Amino acid sequence: MARQSSIPIILASTSPRRRELMQLLDLPFTIEHSRYEEPSPPVTATDISVLVQDLAANKAEEVARRVTASLVIGADTLVGPDSFTGIPFGKPRDREDAAFMLRQLAGSWHRVSTGIAIVPAGTLSSLTRPIVDVVTTRVKFREMSDTQIHDYISTGEPLDKAGSYGAQGFAARYIESIDGDFYNVVGLPICRLSVLLEPILIAATARLQLER
């Protein structure tokens, strides 16, 4: 993907992990915090993959309403049981909530779903339509004792992460297997985002050049 894109890109997230992953696209972008307020957990979802797409779109659309010609990227990640239904795990409310989540995940498979949305803002809305997608990765945790759970929570790592763990951090010692996109588990499926973003940038850039 060419770094010389003339289309402004905005990441509607202040997550340091998503910011780092966005840099792998080798495209200039800015960050704008989305003011969209997510529903408080627990939320029972008939389909978690649909829920994360809705949340990602809502985040991106809120920012798109406040900015000029740009492509706004929103994302939302939730952890759920090894099915597409049930009560998803977002970020824990406190240490006790983190311990509860980790006990549920220990010794079993679960799914990590990230919704991604690309929403055109301003004049770009006439060049391309919003795109929303989801990537799901299965993750297997080994068994964890209460002492291991307590020690992991004591690192502070689980407290700002969906499902109460960071696959790229200290939780690596407990992840037995991953089936799918690792970066999706971290918080942004960068390969899928690149596939969706590239044709939009090419088409939008060509259209703008014709209009000049």
Give the closest residue to 194 by CA, choosing from 22, 13, 14. Answer: 22
- 133 included as an active-site residue: no
Residue 18 CA from chain centroid, whole number: 7
Q: What is the largest CA-CA distance in the chain?
A: 64
Residue pair 192/186 in contact by the 8 Å Cβ criterion: no
Pairwise CA distance, residues 88 & 103, whole Å: 14
**Of the residues 47, 54, 76, 151, which is catalytic?**
76
CA–CA gap between residue 119 and residue 35 (Å, rounded): 15
Given phi > 0 = left and psi -120 to 50 = alpha, else beta, which region is 187? left
Residues assigned a catalytic role: 76
